[in-house]
A and B are shown apart, each in its own frame.
Chain A
């Protein structure tokens, strides 16, 4: 596996605020990585550092073998779709799509048209007049049709309904399998993208707190539920992230489990279930669920 992004001690400090705090991580080429975390955790700053839009206070970041800052050789491979991208006031989506091929040599115009149909985007309407969701779909279409070797989506779905979001995930996955590329996707909607992600980077307070393949995260966590005594016995020695009590029953979320311990729990008549990625991350970041479930502003 080739490394395409490498950060070492990467730090970004604004007046009094450390948005990104000495992070080290690598991203493998041609994978879909989820950059997950709460609002203000540092996701956007990290993505801006990745694309040379923001300047690191200290530490280094290397993308496709070089620094991204003012480096045309690196930036030509990137496409950064922001949460609320600004477009020139008089632009219509068709103008954006007409100018895009210059930036993205792998631009697929037919694909862009197809996506515009699917997202029911009026390409001949001024962008200022588009709804929030339609505006988001302009970004999503550019991100997908650009086929940029490094495509970065920063919460690209604001205002999109569940059907359109699903269409985005389906299209991303289908196109990614045909044209493998490095995709970095920041999102709050962890469970929605759970099936999409191969790797998860969870950032909290400017620090990377989870950096792991998603499969490994999932397979090492489980919920064990049943009578309190039996559950407590079963989870002895395991990393208990969370306990929920209901009368004499307990449901425990555990991490770092082995197949053996789960088999023993099952044999003891306990209920063993999977943990959703979202639950797992909420437990590990110690937040309350509602704060993670913000969909739109």
Chain B
């Protein structure tokens, strides 16, 4: 037989006190990071691959077009990683929620753990992107004048502003993913139809309303007024709304099979 460490509850009453919240949240974070391939290795690998392809292609173009041809090129290839994190959020919640509940976690602890997971990844990727941008600028665009990470005005502000902007954007994508996944976990396919249908109505309806009011100028003026970081800060409203929705939806959700 195996080790015979007596379990400490043997005979005695079971504890009626929950373990500390931090321990419970850390348990979830550990589960979500147990296999870092989806959330870390795969996207970093894809990013590296796209970057190398871009450098190669750009080198070919630069060899044929004079340097002073166009200067303000923005590639934005790194943007995919934000969208990728939305997908990570959807997959993580959909797949880890039933497992966590089976292993004795509460819905609340699971979502808090997911929140920590999202914040850690947001900060980590933002630092990674900032570092890559610094290298890009220092090497004059990887030696070929490529603006892969330098997305124009965003990174020309202070570095801390740029990082904050990135973190806020990541959090926005994570929260949208979390809310979407929650709808799926709770209401499955029917929930998805209603959710996407409603979203399309809201977006098109909103666009129609702004057009009808002739207010696109004001919308543009808002973003100019708020500035880059300000706009990102305003996105916190959406982030908070999505996070709260995810919580309200998940707390009455029952994990079902398949």
CB–CB A79/B103 < 8 A: yes
> A86 touching B98 by the CB < 8 A rule?
yes
Given contacts A72-B105, A77-B104, 10 further A-B contacts (CB under 8 A): A53-B101, A54-B254, A72-B24, A75-B106, A76-B24, A80-B102, A80-B104, A86-B99, A88-B92, A179-B10
A84 with B258: CB separation less than 8 A: yes
A212 to B106, CA, bound (A): 32
Q: Would you call A8 an interface residue if the criterion is a C-beta within 8 Å of the partner chain's C-beta atoms?
A: no
Bound together, the chains give a CA A51 to CA B105 distance in angstroms of 10
Q: Mark B6-30, 1 if CB is under 8 A from A, else 0.
A: 1111100011111100011011101
Q: Mark B77-116, 1 if CB is under 8 A from A, else 0.
A: 0000000000000011001101111111111110000000
Q: CB-CB < 8 A to B105: which residues of A?
A: 72, 75, 103
Q: CB distance A147 to B7 under 8 Å?
A: yes
7 residue pairs, one from A and one from B, having the closest CB atoms:
A102-B27, A72-B18, A103-B103, A99-B31, A73-B18, A95-B34, A111-B2
Prevailing SS type, chain B contact patch: loop
Q: Which of A52, A54, A88, A99 contacts B95 (CB 8 A)?
A: A88
Please tell me if the beta carbons of B1 and A178 are within 8 angstroms of each other in the complex: yes
The yes or no answer to B231 lying at the interface (CB within 8 A) is no
Interchain CB contact under 8 A, B31 and A102: yes
When the two chains form their complex, are residues A104 and B103 in contact, meaning their CB atoms are under 8 A apart? yes
Partner of A178, one of B4, B31, B91: B4
Any chain A CB within 8 A of the CB of B255?
yes
In the complex, the answer to whether A73 meets B16 with C-beta atoms within 8 Å is yes
Complexed CA–CA distance, A105 and B106 (Å): 16
B91, A89: Cβ atoms closer than 8 Å: yes
Place the interface of chain B in its size category: 35 or more
CA A67 – CA B209 in complex, angstroms?
48
Q: Is the CB–CB distance between B104 and A75 below 8 Å? A: yes
Q: Which residues of A lie under 8 Å from residue B254 when comparing CB positions? A: 48, 53-55
Name the one of A48, A79, A86, A174 contacting B258, with C-beta atoms under 8 angstroms.
A86
Is A133 an interface residue when CB atoms closer than 8 A count as contact? no
Chain A residues, CB < 8 A from B9 = 77, 106, 149
Q: Which residues of A contact B92 (CB under 8 A)?
A: 88
With a CB–CB cut-off of 8 A, which chain B residues contact A142?
Answer: 103
Q: Which residue of A lies closest to B20 (CB)?
A: A72
Whether A77 contacts B14 by the Cβ 8 Å rule is yes
Contacting pair B14 A149 (CB below 8 A): yes
On whether the beta carbons of B258 and A76 are closer than 8 Å, the reply is no
* Interchain nearest-CB distance for B106 vs A (Å): 5
Q: Could you tell me which residues of chain A, from 138 to 188, have a CB within 8 Å of some CB in chain B?
A: 142, 146-149, 174, 178-181
Instruction: Count A-B contacts at CB 8 Å.
Output: 138
Interface SS, A side: loop
Q: Which residues of A contact B34 (CB under 8 A)?
A: 91, 95-96, 98-99
Assuming A103-B27, A178-B1, is B251 touching A72 (CB within 8 A)?
no
Whether A181 contacts B7 by the Cβ 8 Å rule is yes
Complex CA distance for A176 and B167, rounded to whole angstroms:
49
Residue of B4, B28, B108, B252 touching A55 (CB-CB under 8 A): B252
Whether B156 is near chain A, meaning CB under 8 Å from some CB there, is: no
- Asked if A82 is at the interface (CB within 8 A of a chain B CB), the reply is yes
6 pairs across A/B with beta carbons < 8 Å? A53-B255, A84-B258, A95-B35, A100-B103, A103-B31, A179-B10
When the two chains form the complex, which single residue of A70, A100, A180 contacts B107, counting CB atoms closer than 8 Å? A70
Name the distance in Å between B14's Cβ and chain A's nearest Cβ. Answer: 5
Which of B19, B31, B92, B105: most chain A CB closer than 10 A?
A: B31
Which residues on the B side are within 8 Å of A76 (C-beta)?
15, 18-19, 24, 104
Interface pair A90/B27, CB less than 8 Å apart = no
- Binary CB contact string for chain B from 218 to 252 against chain A (1 if under 8 A, 0 otherwise): 00000000000000000000000000000000011
The verdict on B37 contacting chain A, using a C-beta distance below 8 Å, is yes
Chain B, Cβ-Cβ closest to A77: B14
Q: A110 and B2 in contact (CB under 8 A), knowing A64-B16, A80-B104, A90-B35? A: yes
Tell me the bound Cα distance from A121 to B1 in angstroms: 19
B151 within 8 A of A: no
Quick check: B95 and A103 within 8 Å, CB to CB?
A: no
B64 sits at the interface (CB 8 A): no
Min Cβ gap A9→B in Å is 21
* Structural contact, B14 and A111, CB atoms closer than 8 A: no
- A110 cross-chain contacts in B, Cβ below 8 A: 2-3
